Amino acid sequence: MPGSALSHRAAPLPERSRESRASMRELPRVVAGIDFSLASLAAARWVGEALGPHVELVLVHALPPVAAAARGGTDARADAIVGALRGLAGLLPVQRVTPLARRGSVADVLAAVGAEMQAQLICIGRDEVDGQPALRLAARLIERRTAAVLVVPRRV
């Protein structure tokens, strides 16, 4: 019917550039902060379920910084965490997963890995992270402008 909402046509969308179309075909790269809380595990699971199995997922665990005197040799704790992240990766509905453990504050580590991996999204669970609410961490990540930030509730 003319004039009704059913007959309304939207204006055509502008043509996208060749670069824009090419980047849309790229698989999304997502960094997920994992502290092994239920909320962080839900966030990692959400990535696979919502974005599909072809997303490139980087599971990142931030370890406390080590004093300069304690540096050197291998980092057994980081190696153990990477092993646990590999185990988690096998449980997720995602085909491409990279497990990483880095030392530093959670915000610094997630922002650095997001920039290094050129992630489109940093995903965290909504729980306390290092004693601070996840929303405060999200604000710190947003301030860094590395990637979009998504906070996923514990139960999705």
State the Cα angle at 27 between 24 and 28, rounded to 5°: 90
State the burial class of residue 147 (Cβ atoms within 10 Å of its Cβ: 0-12, 13-18, 19+): buried
pTM of the predicted model as reported, rounded to 2 decimal places: 0.75
Name the pLDDT band for 27 (thresholds 50, 70, 90).
low
The answer to whether residues 101 and 61 touch, using CB atoms and an 8 Å cutoff, is yes
- Spans of all domains in the chain: 32-64+72-152
- Superfamily of 32-64+72-152 according to CATH: HUPs (3.40.50.620)
Burial class (CB in 10 A: 0-12, 13-18, 19+), 144: middle
Strands in 96-103's sheet, in edge-to-edge order, are 96-103, 56-63, 29-33, 121-125, 148-152
In this structure, are strands 132-133 and 128-129 parallel, antiparallel, or unpaired? Answer: antiparallel
Distance CA(7)–CA(109), nearest Å, equals: 51
Question: Helix and strand tally (H, E) in the chain?
Answer: 5, 7
Q: Are 72 and 99 in contact (CB under 8 A)?
A: no
Angle between the N-to-C axes of helices 106-116 and 134-144, in degrees from 0 to 180, rounded to the nearest 10: 40
* Residue 76 in this model has a pLDDT that exceeds 80: yes
Question: What pLDDT digit, counting tens, does each position of 35-61 carry?
Answer: 998 888 999 999 989 988 899 999 999
Smallest Cα–Cα separation from 25: which of 13, 12, 16, 14? 16
Q: Which of 68-72, 87-91, 96-100 has the lowest mean pLDDT?
A: 68-72
Instruction: Indicate whether 128 pLDDT > 90.
Output: no
State the pLDDT confidence band at 73, using cuts at 50, 70 and 90: low
